[in-house]
Amino acid sequence: MQHRLTVAIVDDDDGVRASLSSLIRSLGYEARSYGSAPAFLADVERGDPDCMIADIQMPEMTGDELQAALLSAGRRFPMIFMTAFPTAPVRERVMAAGACAFLDKPAEPDTIAHHLASALGHGRA
């Protein structure tokens, strides 16, 4: 049996997590949902996801702070960020640190699917 790729969703908005989880499952991936960056960081037993989609504006810890914490801990996997409040400095910071995409909310499902496929290396041999 082939391993289903896992996508972690980190967003403090219940509705966003639910809709993204549904989209991710419809694309054939396993979805893991977290209401905060600390909740994601605390889930060490299941291992790193194949990709993460995270909000930027969250209480407790922002998406770019989560990215920095993961990288400083040596945890590297594709990361896609979404925000309703895009700013050039944050975009530049997360992209320079290796993010695969920085999307404005609300992002179209086709756009999310495209960036997920790219991040997960679909089309590679």
- DSSP class per residue in 8-58: EEE-S-HHHHHHHHHHHHHTT-EEEEESSHHHHHH--TT---SEEEEESS-
pLDDT tens-digit series, residues 3-49: 789 999 999 999 999 999 999 999 999 999 999 999 999 998 999 99
Q: Is the pTM of this model over 0.85?
A: yes
What is the rounded CA–CA span in Å between residue 40 and residue 26?
22
pLDDT tens-digit series, residues 103-123: 999 999 999 999 999 999 874
Q: What is the CATH number of the domain that holds 46?
A: 3.40.50.2300
Q: Is the peptide bond before 59 cis (omega within 30 degrees of 0)?
A: no
pLDDT tens-digit series, residues 63-74: 999 999 999 999
Residue 1 lies in a domain: no
Give the count of domains, the chain. Answer: 1
Q: What is the pLDDT of residue 2?
A: 57
Residue 125 lies in a domain: no
